[in-house]
Amino acid sequence: MSSIINTKIKPFKATAFHQGKFVPVTEQDLAGKWSVVVFYPADFTFVCPTELGDLADFYAKFQEIGVEVYSVSTDTHFTHKAWHDASETIKKINYPMIGDPTGAITRNFGVMIEEEGLALRGTFVINPEGEIKVAEIHDLGIGRSAAELFRKVQAAQYVANHDGEVCPAKWTPGEATLAPSLDLVGKI
């Protein structure tokens, strides 16, 4: 399996349910800003609403640091609307919910479970140039944390804006970073 880190996202066209409307979404909508794309298996399931609700709770924080969030499943945008109308948790969502019924986007990101027609739990952080900077894939039974994702986005933004610096484990804004050098080898 080859890594997709630092590769450009592939072109796509889709329809999303977003703030009560059906809207077109393409890779161009992600251009010029930081984006998070979160794949999940299916609407009307169990772990998925807990994750999407958690993201909804953090959405304003993502927006404050210039990040747009997109959720994607192989359901249609119509199903996203029905789920939004039926679930108090999903009603909290203000980010676009992309429908990918053909699985094209899901395959582009390498998270399609072909025999089931569903996505694995895939999380991708994409920089303004359209390059994937974080890729994390979970099995279906393992839920993700919006707080940890938020920290990773902050680290990716920091590294992008501070040439020669890297963020150590558990780094958060305001904490010390590292400048890799020969002097640090064996000292950490």
pLDDT in tens, the chain (188 residues): 579 999 999 999 999 999 999 999 999 999 999 999 999 999 999 999 999 999 999 999 999 999 999 999 999 999 999 999 999 999 999 999 999 999 999 999 999 999 999 999 999 999 999 999 999 999 999 999 999 999 999 999 999 999 999 999 999 999 999 988 877 787 77
Is 167 one of the annotated active-site residues of the chain? no
The tokens for 11 are 């072109």
Q: What is the dihedral of CA 50, 95, 120, 35, to 10 degrees?
A: -130
How far is Cα 58 from Cα 63, in angstroms, rounded to an integer?
A: 9
d(Cα 185, Cα 121) in Å, to the nearest integer?
36
pLDDT value of position 16: 98
CB 80 within 8 A of CB 87: no
**Which among 48, 67, 111, 112 is annotated as catalytic?**
48
**Distance of alpha carbon 152 from alpha carbon 172, whole angstroms:** 9
